[in-house]
Amino acid sequence: MSVFVNFRSPAGKKSFYLKQSSGIILKMRMIILVIEMISVPTYRTPDGARLFYDIKGDGEKPIFFLHGWGISSAFFSEQVEPLMSNGYKIILLDSRMHGKSEKNQSVIPEIYKDNLLELMLDDFFNFKKELGIDGDYMLFGHSAGGAVSACIANKDPKHVKALAIINSSYTISENPAIILLWELVPLFVRALYNPYIRNGYKMVLRSKSIQYSLSLALDIPLANLQAWINDILTIPRQALVLEYMNLKRVNIKDIMKSITCPTLIVASDLDLITPAIMSKTIHELIHDSELHVIKNAGHLAMIEQKEEFNSILLDFLKRHY
């Protein structure tokens, strides 16, 4: 395999081709990969996968943040500063093939491809052990991360002292019509990754003018917005499809019933992905829980209405953690 690069003179009259071997290109890619590996903190799982993590603050009360399907820990950026200033330690983790974690498809072992939830639980407990955290902690899970957090709380009730389940659910849906709509997700993902469509929205989202406009509209620092965009645009299609195939098989209703720690449940009135009715059911399932429904917000309440959301979160933390 060879790559030809065309160079033209300013006058456009002279051109020549520079042939580069695939070996040189491979070495360049390896160098870029090494630079990425040493520039961000990563945790290596027992089976060798590299997962990005970050720890903010030096408080004595750790809170683990678990993100949802197709996004990353970068989407918790608006909670970091308020929690740090109140003495909490924020621990952010990107799941396999998400965010800044390793994107190679081989990081998902074959035996887990039909049981991704179990792999996520193993990754969490191994990561916690690596950090040397063997005492009490809290979990904050958004969307699919909320379901993962509930499973962790069920497995480790002795140490999970509080739980926050945000814009989440115990299953994709119990409505046959909605379930049928979810069956279209693989087609939607395939369309999103069509080169013609993908190049178009990537160009739009990476436009400086669009980014500045979104930053102003959401009242979000530009750097935070750019981190979200980058993490969304770099997730492999295979990761989205694989996680979706696992999500649609999950129903943790019985697990929700077993949770005993104080639990904060936050829903949004405009959330079409995990409607508020699902959060109301979770509230009924978890005995020691409280439910807040934020108005004028969709699936990302912690960003769309960050001030109201953070106020609710801090009030819950002061009372329970």
Domain assignments of the chain as residue spans, ordered by start: 1-39, 45-320
DSSP, residue by residue, 173-204: -S-HHHHHHHTTHHHHHHHHTSHHHHHHHHHH
Query: In angstroms, rounded to a whole number, what is the distance separating the alpha carbons of residues 231 and 99?
Result: 5
Q: How does pLDDT run along the chain (321 residues), one tens digit per residue?
A: 333 333 343 444 433 333 444 455 445 545 544 555 455 799 999 999 999 999 999 999 999 999 999 999 999 999 999 999 999 999 999 999 999 999 988 899 988 999 999 999 999 999 999 999 999 999 999 999 999 999 999 999 999 999 999 999 999 999 999 999 999 999 999 999 999 999 999 999 999 999 999 999 999 999 999 999 999 999 999 999 999 999 999 999 999 999 999 999 999 999 999 999 999 999 999 999 999 999 999 999 999 999 999 999 999 999 999
- Answer for the pair 66, 139: CB distance below 8 angstroms, yes or no: yes
Task: Tell me which CATH code domain 45-320 carries.
Answer: 3.40.50.1820
Of the candidates 66, 65, 115, 69, the one whose C-alpha atom is nearest the C-alpha of residue 273 is 69
pTM for this predicted structure: 0.86
